[in-house]
Amino acid sequence: MKLASRPERYTSYEADSALLNTPAKRLGVVVIVAVALLVPFVAEDDRVAILSDAFVFAIAAIGLNLVTGYAGQVSLGHAFFFGLGAFTAAVLGGEPGGRTIGYGLDMVIWLPAAGLVAAAAGLLVSPAAVRLRGLYLAIVTLGLVFLGEHLFREAKPITGGVGVGRPAATPKLLGYRFDQPGLFGLDLSGTQKTYLLMLVFLILAAILGRNVARSAVGRAFAAVRDRDIAAAVIGVNLARQKALAFTVSSFFAGLAGALLYVRTPFIEPSAFNLGLSVQFIAMILIGGAATISGSIMGALFITSLSRFTQDLTTGLPALGKALTLGGFFSIEAVQTVLYGVLIVVFLIFEPRGLYGLWLRFRNYFKSWPFSY
């Protein structure tokens, strides 16, 4: 029986390992989802667009967290799988008869296909993780990004080539278009509809990611991360778990890649570069490695950073002048420098990331008045 004053007294395994195992969590999730549903009706379209992109990056960040945070396999190649998903979707869902290949299929086909193609690529890359460790694996996955860039540059019928690009997949789900305004009589713009679609996908991806993490697979991942030889001794099949980690994370990356271009329907192949991979790594490190909510927080933080600094410098011009050293640096340079500095500061002072900050905040109030 449940005691209201003892929310963490669990009387069954199911209750303990449940997704939302305390009343506070349940309430929190309801509140957050309600706020997220209301945002497009109160905020301007450009902010809604930024949040929509942030949700898509959060899906990719969840995937990266599964392979790097939970399974401990450093992957700097996430941008490659992201791009692979984007181009698969563009080929399957794009307008036929243009300069580039397109088949004009529905989202029901191109979205899973994007995930599956990226997952297959992840599966092909996973033997490297079995053979290599640590920094060697990181640099090999970095090489994957460069190979991918070369591939995207050269495969002009698919990607259009550098500097030219190609149109993305048309976002129609079972015939219903997401880029055109209108929804059952409510006057929603395309951006708002896209935002709601991305919110739904993010919730699904988060549940999926969290379920992977709290299942036996997730426990095997953590064993591989912490002491892989000991894990092998107790019967965790390392090759299989690493392959599974890469496959699942690449699936998420492929889905996210396909979804990002629902809002801006034009893909340029040089976007999937080292900088994008580093951005994903920054999202999970700043958000919190090995946590799903951390991936979401990190993605929201990093994606809104550029807009945030813009608002900050226009809202507080004195601060803007100070940051740009009196106009010596452009605002984009300041954003990039801030991004680099934030990575360094978070890793030095709060290695558990934004999720760690949340934990400190929550534990302070949980243990009040014994917060010391």
Partner 1 sequence: MTKLFQLLVEGLGQASTYALVAVGFVIIYKSMRVVSFAQPGLMVVGASFVVFLATEVGLSFYLAVPLAMVLTAGVGLLVERTTLRPMVGKPVFVVAIITLGVDVVLRQIVNRYVGLNLRPIGDPWGLDGFSLGGAQVQVRHLVMMTVTSAVVTGLFVFFKRSRTGLAMRAAAADQETALAQGVSVGRVFAISWAMAGALAALAGVFVGTGGGVDQQTWTVALKALPVIIVGGLDSIGGAVIGAVIVGLVESLVGGYQADLFPFLGQNFNLVSPYVIMVVILLVRPYGLFGTARVERV
Q: Please check whether residue 74 is in contact with residue 138, taking contact to mean a CB–CB distance below 8 angstroms.
A: yes
Q: In terms of CB distance, is 1 or 135 closer to partner 1?
A: 135
Rounded to the nearest 10 degrees, what angle do helices 274-287 and 353-366 cross at?
10
Alpha carbon distance 110, 95 (integer Å): 13
Q: Please check whether residue 335 is in contact with residue 343, taking contact to mean a CB–CB distance below 8 angstroms.
A: no
Q: In terms of CB distance, is 55 or 355 closer to partner 1?
A: 355
Q: Applying CB under 8 A, which of residues 180, 330, 363, 367 lies at the interface with partner 1?
A: 330
Radius of gyration for the alpha carbons in the chain, expressed in angstroms and rounded: 21
Q: In terms of CB distance, is 73 or 191 closer to partner 1?
A: 73
Reported as half-sphere exposure (CB side, CA atoms, 13 A), residue 325 has a value of 6
Residue 321 in tokens: 């002048």
CB count in 10 Å sphere of residue 73: 28
Q: Which of residues 135-174 bind partner 1 (CB under 8 A)?
A: 135-136, 138-140, 142-144, 146-147, 149-151, 153-154
Residue 58 in tokens: 């959060």
Alpha carbon distance 297, 301 (integer Å): 6
Helices (H), 94-155: 107-131, 134-154
Q: Applying CB under 8 A, which of residues 230, 239, 316, 319 lies at the interface with partner 1?
A: 230
**Any idea what DSSP says for residue 97?**
T
The torsion of the CA quartet 109, 111, 112, 116, rounded to 10 degrees, works out to: 120
Q: Applying CB under 8 A, which of residues 108, 341, 360, 364 lies at the interface with partner 1?
A: 341
Asked if 278 interacts with partner 1 (CB under 8 A), we say yes
- Taking the complex as a whole, the smallest distance from the CB of residue 155 to partner 1 amounts, in Å, to 8
Q: In terms of CB distance, is 195 or 280 closer to partner 1?
A: 280
Q: In terms of CB distance, is 153 or 214 closer to partner 1?
A: 153
Q: In terms of CB distance, is 76 or 107 closer to partner 1?
A: 76
Q: Please check whether residue 181 is in contact with residue 158, taking contact to mean a CB–CB distance below 8 angstroms.
A: no
Site track 279-308 with partner 1 (rule: CB under 8 A), x = hit: --xx--x-----------------------
Asked if 337 interacts with partner 1 (CB under 8 A), we say yes
Q: In terms of CB distance, is 200 or 341 closer to partner 1?
A: 341
- Taking the complex as a whole, the smallest distance from the CB of residue 248 to partner 1 amounts, in Å, to 20
Chain residues that interact with partner 1, rule: CB under 8 A: 74, 128, 131-136, 138-140, 142-144, 146-147, 149-151, 153-154, 227, 229-230, 233, 274, 278, 281-282, 285, 328-330, 333, 336-337, 339-344, 347-348, 351
